[in-house]
Amino acid sequence: MTEAEEKRAYRFKGRVAMVTGAASGIGRATALGFAVEGADLAICDINEGGLRALSAEITALGRRCHLGRVDVSKKAEAFAFVEAAAAALGPIDILVNNAGTGQFQPFAMMEDDEYDRVMDINVRSIFNFSRAVLPSMMDRDYGRIVNITSIMSVIAGQGQSVYNTSKGAAKMMTQGMAVDLSGYNINVNAVGPGMVHTGLTRNLLGDAASAAEFEEKIPKRRIGVPDDIAAGVLFLCSDAASYVHGETLFIDGGMLCAR
């Protein structure tokens, strides 16, 4: 291993990273990425089996891991998890607000409870967890927050009006947080994935014909994988991105520029 490779391999050594929605997909890849590069992890999800499997991989890498089943839309559960994680691992240095859900229903058919569900998971969770970690980050004058939004924050999709709304809100919350925290060494950014192989896209990409149709719309001519997104998250949390603040990094294989 070269000196440069070794430095990168341990760029998060001594840091504590928290990832919501970590049991699968982008969250799982992100958590493992941090562990490979030296961080201890606090991971939460509603999928306990997935969390336990991920925790085993993290500890096998020699890192500490604190896990919890958390409904990210509930303030009390978010704050309790942050408190427990900090007691177990130390103050949270990095927060990745990854937990999210999809929505595929025409606007005229949407019900109140479905609207609330999507907005609570995709937006309120960012509000909850960010407020929970910020007092410690502000006291220590250090922190990195990355919110996972989507290319659907800037383009509309059929049957996804509330999903579009939630991801647009996450993007603007990122910018508002960045402005409010400008007096601190706390960077707040977002990552906007394009089409990625995850549980949320399984129905869309369930057969070869459907996948090929999407690939034709992507200049890179492939569907993204969770590691593609995780790489961008880790960059934004690294010292290399110390002057990146209030931005949304779209990782989409060129989908936006081809529209």
- Active-site residue list: 163
What is residue 86's three-state secondary structure? helix
Alpha helices in the chain (DSSP H): 3-9, 25-36, 48-60, 75-89, 112-119, 125-140, 161-180, 208-215, 226-237
Per the structure block, which two tokens stand in for 236? 């934004």
Per the structure block, which two tokens stand in for 142? 């250090």
b or e along 45-77 (b: 16 or more beta carbons within 10 Å of the residue's beta carbon)?
A: bebeebbeebbeebeeeebbbbbbebbbbeeeb
- Residue 18 backbone dihedrals phi, psi, to 5 degrees: -115, 130
**Spatial separation of the C-alpha atoms in residues 77 and 103, rounded to whole Å:** 24
Using alpha carbons, select from 41, 46, 74 the residue that is nearest to residue 56: 41
Task: Give me the DSSP letters along 204-250.
Answer: TTSSHHHHHHHHTTSTT-S-B-HHHHHHHHHHHHSGGGTT--S-EEE
Contact assessment for residue 247 and residue 189, using Cβ atoms and an 8 Å cutoff: yes
